Amino acid sequence: MATPSRTSGPLQVRCPACGTTNRVPREKIDAGREAVCGRCKAPLGVGRTPVTVTDATFSAEVERSSLPVLLDAWAPWCAPCRTLAPLIDELSAEMAGRLRVAKLNVDENPRTACP
Ligand SMILES: [Zn+2]
């Protein structure tokens, strides 16, 4: 498993879909462009916006992520969750390429929320 580089070079990001290690220039992330796998074109999830995870993608997106993951488990009826949402988005943009921010709707994905 690839570990993200801490230096200023390109990030090495492992594709959650096919496992290929991709080199992603930091400028690309800073420019807000979505990085995709060079082999299968799957999104690498190192962009500036949080990735939405589901029961089906949790394992690939979170458990096998090459970056540390902050998981925001939220629900539509949860007022504090909605208050927090803009901050989560902000954090995602700020930490792009260093931290992956993932969002899980616990109402739609009960299997991951309550194993
Ligand atoms: Zn791939």
**Average pLDDT estimate for 98-103:** 92
The 10s digit of each residue's pLDDT in 66-77 is: 889 999 999 999
The pair of three-digit structure tokens given for residue 49, joined into one six-digit string:
């916006």
Whole-Å CA distances, 84 to 48, 50, 72, 74? 17, 13, 9, 9
Residue 77 lies in a domain: yes
Whole-Å CA distances, 101 to 28, 55, 88? 18, 16, 8
Please tell me the total count of domains within the chain. Answer: 1
pLDDT band at 27 (very low <50, low <70, confident <90, very high): confident
Residue 1 lies in a domain: no
pLDDT at 5: 46
**Residue 26, domain CATH:** 3.40.30.10
| Residue 25 belongs to domain spanning | 11-113
Residue 70 lies in a domain: yes
Question: If you measure from the C-alpha of residue 20 to the centroid of ligand 1, how many angstroms do you get, rounded to a whole number?
Answer: 5
Residue 62 lies in a domain: yes
Residue 4 lies in a domain: no
Q: Are 10 and 26 in contact (CB under 8 A)?
A: yes
Report percent pLDDT > 70 for the chain: 91
Indicate yes or no: pTM above 0.85.
Answer: no
Dihedral pair phi/psi, residue 44, rounded to 5°: -90, -10
- Ligand 1 (ion): residues with CB under 5 Å are 15, 17-18, 20, 37, 39-40, 42
